[in-house]
Amino acid sequence: MLKLFNKKKKDNKGFTLVELVIVVAILAILVGILAPQYTKYVEKSRQSADASNLENIVKGFKVAAADTDYNIIPNGKTAVATFKICMTKDGTTITPDNAPTDGDTWAKALKEYTGYDFSVTDGGKEIKLKSKKWKLEKTIVGKVGDSAIGALVTIKSDGSVTVEYDPASVKDGTSGPEA
Domain ranges in the chain are 37-172
Percent of the chain with pLDDT over 90: 34
Contact 162, 176 (CB under 8 A): no
| Tens-place pLDDT, residues 18-41 | 999 999 999 999 999 999 889 899
Q: How far apart are CA 82 and CA 13, in angstroms?
A: 75
User: Which residue type occupies 8?
Assistant: K
- pTM value is 0.76
Going through 50-119 in order, the beta strands assigned E by DSSP cover 80-88, 91-97
Classified as helix, coil or strand, 45 is helix
Q: How far apart are CA 138 and CA 103, in angstroms?
A: 30
Low-confidence spans in the chain with pLDDT less than 50? 174-179
121 backbone dihedrals φ, ψ, rounded to 5° = -70, -35
Classified as helix, coil or strand, 132 is coil
Q: How far apart are CA 60 and CA 48, in angstroms?
A: 18
Cis peptide bond upstream of 167, omega within 30: yes
